[in-house]
Amino acid sequence: MKKRVLMVLLTLSLASTTAQALTLDEARSQGRVGETLTGYVAPVSHDKETLALVDRINKARAESYQQLADRNNISVDDVAKMAGQKLVERAQPGEYVQGINGKWLKKSSVAH
């Protein structure tokens, strides 16, 4: 069941950002946003364009997480945390991820 939930979660997280994937990808590669363990993207830079993107992406993710939680009878927070872990793991080298201490870390290309 958990593997199924994770697969659906990954599919939903990708689908929810499809319309703005290029914009999100550009923001990630430019170091303007980063993934967090909470399941939501957060701004690294705080310009108006970046903040608007973060708001749009997080609203779409929240809706997807809610739908997934409702379908699987689990909490939205649990869904978001599972997604956050996967999104942080999936971040590309050079992109920012937020550590458990709240500090931004640039993902390295070296596997640990």
> What whole-number percentage of the chain has pLDDT above 90?
71
Query: Is the pTM here over 0.75, yes or no?
Result: yes
Q: Which domain holds residue 50?
A: 2-106
The structural domain count of the chain equals: 1
15 is a domain residue: yes
Model confidence over 12-34: pLDDT tens digits? 555 554 444 357 999 999 999 99
Q: Bigger pLDDT: 66 or 112?
A: 66
Ramachandran angles phi, psi of 33, nearest 5°: -135, 160
71 is a domain residue: yes
Distance between CA 81 and CA 51 in Å, rounded? 22
Question: Which residue, among 44, 42, 74, has the nearest Cα to 61 in the 3D structure?
Answer: 42
Neighbouring C-beta atoms of residue 98, cutoff 10 Å: 20
Beta bridge partners of residue 33, listed in sequence order: 43
Q: Quick one: pLDDT at residue 21?
A: 37
111 is a domain residue: no
58 is a domain residue: yes
39 is a domain residue: yes
